Amino acid sequence: MACASALQAQTADELVSKNIAARGGMDRLLAVKSLRSSGILQQGSFSMRIGTDAAPPNLLRSTYTIQGMTAVSAYDGAVGWKISPFEGRRDPELLGEDDLRGMIEDADFYGPLVNAKEKGNKIEYLGHDTVDGDDALRLRVTLKNGDILTYYLDPDTYLEIRIEKTQYIRGSVRETFTDLGSYKRVAGVYYPFSMETGSRSNPSDRAKITISNMEANVSFPRSTFRMPEARQTPSASQSSARPNAERKL
Amino acid sequence: MKQALIGFCLAALASAAAPARFDSGAISGLPARNIGSAAMSGRISALDAIDSNGQLTLFVGSASGGVWKSVNGGTTFKPVFDNTNVQSVGAVAVDPTNPSTVWTGTGESWVRNSVSIGAGVFKSTDGGENWVNMGLKDSEHIARILIDPKDGDTVYVCATGHLWDDNDERGVFKSSDAGKSWRKVLAGANGSTGCGMIAMSAQNPKTLYASLWDFRRQAWTFRSGGPGSGLFQSTDGGEHWTELTDANSKGLPEKPYGRIALTVAPSRPNVVYAMIESKSSALFRSDDNGRNWARLDASQMMVWRPFYFANLIVDPKDENKVFKVDGSLLLSVNGGKSFSSVANAHGDFHDVWIDPSNPNLMFTGDDGGLWRSGDGGTRWEHLLNLPVSQFYHVSVDNADPYRVYGGLQDNSSWVGDSSYPGGVTNSRWENMYGGDGFWMWEDPADSNYIYVEAQGGELSRVHRVTHESRSIKPYARYGEKKLRFNWNTPVQISPNEKGTIYIGAQFLFRSRDHGQSWERISPDLTTNDPDKQKQEESGGVTVDNSAAEMNTTIYSIAESPRNRQLIWVGTDDGNIQITRDSGAHWTNVAPNVPGVGKAPWVSWVEASRYAEGAAYVAFDRHMYGDMKPYVYRTADFGKTWTALPVQQAGVRGYAHVIREDPLNPSLLFLGTEFGLWVSVDGGGRWAQYKGSGFPDVAVRDIVIHPRTSDLVIATHGRGIWVLDDISPLRSLTPALMEEEAAFLPVPDAVQVMETSGGWSEGDATFNGPARPAEAGVPYYQKTRHIFGDLKIEVFDAQGNLVDTIASSKHRGVNRAAWTMHLKPPKVPPAATAAFGAAVGPRILPGAYTLKMTKNDKTYTAKLNVVLDPRAAFTVADRKAQFDLVTRLAGLLNHMSWAVDAMIGVRDDAADRTAKLAAGDPFRAKLADLAAAADALRTQVVATKEGGAITGEERLREFLAGLYGDVSAYEGKPTASQLERADALGRELDDVIRKFTELTGARLSAVNQELQAKKLAAIRPVVEDEWRKSHADELPSYQPRPGIPLY
């Protein structure tokens, strides 16, 4: 029963432990050494295929594909980069510092709740709250860089049902939220297969992500995450326009 | 917190034992849209800010819309107080010793007739993001919070206290432990005296000045001033206080005092200003810590309405530059001797904040929102991003999208779009009148005209376009003193007769000719108590008779939807009158209502549409200090009444409105001072709506649109909210809530035109969301969906799978959104993306079947998709468009195959070339083949990369553009589009034919030679095989018989 547990789980540490246990336990969690997922991102009537490769401690590569063209954003633990081919350029570019900040946070493979102290993350239990009127338990995670993640845990399962992110970019604030659900077990660990993210004030202005496949412990080379060499791109060179243009790089 | 958690858990345990939980979670999965507006915004009561090296963090306290925080000097704001249970703000204060600590005193202290109440002192230790109640919960109104600039644990609260009745938690309170405990260090002489204002200088925080204010508001009068009012000083950090009188200071006016505004010059702590309300009200200044006072400005605006404008602000660096808030914003640059009106703004100012590091940068808040000056207060910019508008009432018309009409506190009467392509910006709202606004209706008999009113029954009929305005209010007869119109005079439109309108004074009036003439169809329906009709004596020390205290008036009117001769009237002195013969005879049935107390305001009468004798009545007793809701129901024309158990069900706040759903008699909506509540069982159980962050804000009026079933909510502090299509709530029966999951009746999915509008306005202006363009698929689930898929599939009439919808996981009522679009066509890769073809065809109107799979159970429902009723085209036109779109999509898929085939030949040739010896003459032949294949490809797709605007267009770009053009309009395609489709199809065929000829002519010989060299043959991919290998990217759904799969 959630409430009996919730009453006992009055500290942040206990709640974090319950969350990790609910996901499958620390041993199983740490036994996952890589993840590869793919699915669909839908925003309004627009949709694209997405893919993610990730590995500990903080390697991440995300892809977004339409019309045989694939955009990439990635972080190799030191350098964040992207390829944005949709307007005619396929050269890799460094991520701007503002964008890199979110990428670095997303790249934390096991998430900020795992080994939080070692990462310099501060976690506080903010008590009972609601998500659209429904009960939730709230954790505030202040990252080492000062950004804040607010976790709303389902009081029955202790899994995350909403994460709000507040980023402080040169003193200004960026806020996003993500609702999570449809947890499925991969290598003994529960991962959300359904996410909805975007504006709180506009229900129609949200991206819905549905993961169709997720594999753990996939072998991929570290170069997956590394920024490729830039092509010598003249102002208007002729494209070979292969179906997966990214391979050309 | 622990107490709260225990309460939550006990409640959850109790509800777990019950068959199903009917609570906020059960009903709040339906989202709501806030459409503002921030054009007129609303009353700002308090400001504070902190400038950190030029980065300004601003906290804006609104009268009834919470605290808003800006971290960019006012470009954007977010509401940060919505996790608390209150929205009225009297004071905000940033701890000068630690800017992460912010204090809010709830309950505005500018105690006009419509003021809300607070719930004590709140503290945030994370820069205003989260708040904890720190006590003084019964203070109801707080004027100011001061923090010792040398010790952040020392905090002073100026608790004004109850407005409507005596209480003890008022006066000056001090905490020495950061709010853990409070001591009352300055108490009033009686139960009606609280703290009017408190001030100190940061340079000398041990010396404080406070005014005590003896005041009382009743429904029919107001008193500012009395024996408790006085001016006090403490020189030991608030521990001991001395009243400043003739005995210890010179120059102060004669008592009795009313309210006193106070401030100390930040740059010279011995300079004190006080605007003292007395029989000789004026601004006073002391230059010696209050020992001697000079009487200075006493101009009309300086002393106007002291209860509402008791605030003085001195420039942080110049003790002689003083702002006095009032109807105008007054500025003195000569130490208070004289003042000029400086702000071209809305008016009725309440606070000013001046940047200490740059005194030219200022903010002020008035009844019309927040204003910024960059030149020290001479010119002002209205900040248009604060939707804290205070609506009293709302109505709708039948336009599509319908328009919303409503009047607001001190902000006139406005009409706005409920939806607009690109969003409901401020510019989608139009002011139609003036003054304070209340009821507002489109004339059902002539939609060119709108009925509007200002305070005190100033009713006019305004032309929608020209704004020509004609006063149509009824007047008193010969010898009658005056008609008594309430501040918020009820104006009602007959639900049975177009053109019939009612207005209530002490008599009920009816017009059937647009206000040209009025029938007086009742005697005085009030108690006509002369003791409640002495408004000319209202105000206390300063007379204040603005119509806000008018009493013994009609306050609510309801003509029965079932019988035009049956009219209910509620008064502000407790009467409920009913006539069943169109006004010939009236009966007061209020004595039949048990347990509501003496003379409540009958805030709402809702004549039932289901039974002639049935009605709901909401009573408001907050003007007696009773903040509880009271709602009753009668089924026998008022002979007997049953109290709905709203208090027992946990409904908070005095009741403003009770609405019956037009289709389900068990579905009721209740608006109180603290939110929106819903009952699905005729009023037995109630749940607070909390979807989309809807706060605990006053809900003053509710209307359910008869066509769309949208719930349109008039909040007094957060503007208009639209809860699109509440029809799922109509099905929320106890039996259904027992189900693990179920589809709720699915309304017709209107294919709202997918249009665009508006223009980028940046971040600094409000933009409310437009109505959803998707098909809403409502369903219920007993518990939150955590594990595994919750899949909703759509099938066409033939049983073919059309699409799969992303679902919502919320407990209770949910609504999934289906875009009604098929997969986009596969577009061949090229230099740039062809976004014109990035969205799939929109499905045709018709009957579809929904199938929900949750765990191992399935549920089905029907979905009927219909055209936008505004469309000028027919279903046949729509089919013609769909056929062309899918044909073009098919051409793009066909093209993708062809391009892949060309690339395959080119790349295979290159691959084989690489395997040949350097001098092999066959290499040239293969290279030539590759080049020929690629040359054909460049006839199909644009290939110039680089990111510049190349202007290069080939068949792909032309085709994708045509696809986008035809998709963008859902009616019949143009002849040019049809011709162009034919032409592009032929041109594509031409290239493919050339490719076929190329491969036919060369591959045989090439492959023979490759075979001889033991290399794999080059084989262009066959289209069928290609389709199989790209099945996941191509549609598997054949949208129309006879129309090929695209």
CA distance A39 to B402: 38
Token readout for B871 is 């469309």
Nearest CA-CA partner of A176 in A196, A194, A159, A154: A196
CB contact under 8 A, B831 and A239: yes
In whole angstroms, what is the distance from residue B335 CA to residue B341 CA? 15
Tell me: pLDDT of A241 over 90.
no
> Nearest-CA residue of chain A relative to B724?
A203
Does residue A227 belong to the interface with chain B, where contact is any CB pair within 8 Å?
A: no
CB contact under 8 A, A69 and B829: yes
The tokens for B205 are 């925080």
Predicted TM-score of the model (pTM): 0.95
Q: Are A40 and A57 in contact (CB under 8 A)?
A: no
- β-strand pairing of B340-341 with B329-332: antiparallel
Strand order in the sheet with B395-396: B395-396, B403-407, B413-417, B429-431
Local confidence band at A205 (pLDDT 50, 70, 90 cut-offs): confident
Amino acid at the residue A235: S
Selecting from B9, B786, B821 the residue whose C-beta is nearest the C-beta of A3 gives B9
pLDDT at A231 (0 to 100): 63
Chains A, B: CB contacts within 8 A come to 223
Q: Which residue of A has its CA nearest to B956?
A: A67
- Single out the residue of B632, B610, B606, B609 nearest to residue B619, CA to CA: B632
Say if residues B245 and B252 touch (Cβ distance below 8 Å). Answer: yes
How far away is chain B from the Cα of A191, in angstroms, using its nearest Cα?
10
* B788/A183 CB distance under 8 A: yes
- Inter-chain CB proximity A67 and B812 less than 8 Å: no
Are B725 and B776 in contact by the 8 Å Cβ rule? The answer is yes
Report phi then psi at B813, rounded to 5: -75, 135
B810 interaction partners in chain A (CB closer than 8 Å): 132, 134
A193 touches chain B (CB under 8 A): yes
Rounded distance between C-alpha atoms, residue A155 and residue A137, angstroms: 6
- Helices B955-968 and B875-914 cross at an angle (nearest 10°) of 160
Question: How does residue A240 score in pLDDT terms, banded at 50, 70 and 90?
Answer: low
| B210 touches A: beta carbon within 8 Å | no
Which of B28, B692, B830 faces A239 most closely, judged by CB atoms?
B830
B419 touching chain A per CB within 8 A: no
Q: Which residues of B touch A240 (CB under 8 A)?
A: 903, 934, 943
Number of Cβ within a 10 Å radius of residue B10? 12
Query: ipTM of this model?
Result: 0.92
Q: In angstroms, what separates the C-alpha of A80 from chain B's closest C-alpha?
A: 21
Residue A156 reports pLDDT greater than 70 = yes
For range A226-248, the mean pLDDT: 56
Q: Is the minimum CB–CB distance between A233 and chain B shorter than 8 Å?
A: yes
Which A-chain residues 54-113 have CB contacts (< 8 A) with chain B? Answer: 66-69, 85-90
Question: Is B722 in CB contact (< 8 Å) with chain A?
Answer: no
Domain coordinates in residue numbering, chain A: 2-218
Q: Which chain B residues have a beta carbon less than 8 Å from that of A154?
A: 784, 786
Round the average pLDDT of chain A to a whole number and report it: 88
The string of pLDDT tens digits covering residues A34-62 is: 999 999 999 999 999 999 999 999 999 99
Is there a contact between B74 and B117 (Cβ–Cβ < 8 Å)?
A: no
CATH class belonging to A2-218? mainly beta
The pLDDT of residue A239 is 60
Overall average pLDDT of the A75-104 stretch = 94
Token pair 């799978």 is found at: B801
B940, B971 contact by CB (below 8 A): no
Pair B819, B806: CB distance under 8 Å: no
Chain A residues with CB under 8 Å of B72 CB are 172
Residues of B in contact with A203 (CB under 8 A): 31, 33, 692, 769, 772
Say yes or no for a CB contact (<8 Å) between B692 and A171.
no
Catalogue all structural domains in chain B, each as residue range(s) with its CATH number: 55-382 (2.130.10.10), 751-756+767-867 (2.60.40), 875-1033 (no CATH)
If one compares A249 and B302, the residue with the highest pLDDT of the two is B302
| End-to-end Cα spacing for chain A | 54
8 Å CB contact between B17 and B365: no
Are A201 and A31 in contact by the 8 Å Cβ rule? The answer is no
E-strand spans in A143-171?
148-153, 160-169
Smallest CA-to-CA distance from B628 within B47, B117, B262, B202 is with B117
Taking Cα atoms as reference points, which of B484, B492, B583, B475 lies closest to residue B527? B484
Report, as ranges of residue numbers, the positions in chain B whose pLDDT lies below 70.
Answer: 1-19, 1038-1046
Interface contact flag, A87 B770, Cβ < 8 Å: no
Comparing C-alpha atoms, which of A88, A49, A82, A248 is closest to residue B834? Answer: A88
Do B117 and B627 contact (CB within 8 A), yes or no? yes
Q: Tell me: the pLDDT tens digits for B139-198?
A: 999 999 999 999 999 999 999 999 999 999 999 999 999 999 999 999 999 999 999 999
Chosen for mutation from B13, B721, B763, B786 (greatest number of chain A CBs closer than 10 Å) is B786
Would you call B751 an interface residue with chain A, using a CB distance cutoff of 8 Å? no
Residues of B in contact with A233 (CB under 8 A): 945-946
Task: Say if B785 is an interface residue toward chain A (CB within 8 Å).
Answer: yes
How confident is the model at residue B138, as a pLDDT?
A: 98
Distance from CA of A116 to the nearest CA of B (A): 20
The CA distances from residue B643 to B592, B598, B636, B686, B985, in Å, are 12, 16, 14, 14, 73
Mutation test of the interface with chain A: which of B82, B945, B956, choosing the one with the most A Cβ atoms within 10 A? Answer: B945
Structure tokens at B453: 């009113």
pLDDT tens figures, B938-989: 999 999 988 888 889 999 999 999 999 999 999 999 999 999 999 999 999 9
- Which residue is closest to B833 within chain A, CA to CA? A86
Contact B211, B229 (CB under 8 A): yes
For Cα atoms B847, B851, B852, give the angle at the middle one, nearest 5 degrees.
145
Is B29 within 8 Å of A193 when comparing Cβ atoms? no
> Chain A residues with CB inside 8 Å of B692's CB?
132, 200-201, 203
How many residues are present in chain B?
A: 1046
Q: In this structure, what token pair is assigned to residue B664?
A: 């389900």
CB atoms within 10 A of CB B381: 13
User: What residue of A is the nearest CA neighbor of B689?
Assistant: A133
Tokens at A232, concatenated:
């010598």
The whole-number pLDDT of residue B1042 equals 65
With 0-12 CB in 10 A as exposed, 13-18 as middle and 19+ as buried, what is B4?
Answer: exposed
Biggest distance spanned by C-alpha atoms of chain A: 66
Question: Any chain A CB within 8 A of the CB of B9?
Answer: yes
Taking contacts as CB-CB distances below 8 angstroms, the residues of chain A near B838 are 46, 66-67
Q: What is residue B1001's predicted lDDT score, i.e. its pLDDT? A: 96
Asked if B772's CB is within 8 angstroms of A154's CB, the reply is no
Q: Token pair for residue B891?
A: 């051409």
CA atoms B600, B604, B610, B613: torsion sign: positive
Q: Is B299 exposed, middle or buried (0-12, 13-18, 19+ CB in 10 A)?
A: middle
Shortest CA gap A113–chain B (Å): 20
Cα distance between residue B839 and residue A44, in whole Å: 10
Q: Which of B55, B107, B62 is nearest to B80 (CA)?
A: B62
Q: Which of B691, B819, B941 sits opposite A132 (nearest CB)?
A: B691
Closest by CA to B833, choosing from A89, A39, A50, A231, is A89
Mutation target for A interface from B27, B82, B755, B809: give the one with most A CBs within 10 A: B809
**Interchain pair B693, A200: CB under 8 A:** yes
Q: Which residues of B touch A6 (CB under 8 A)?
A: 5, 9
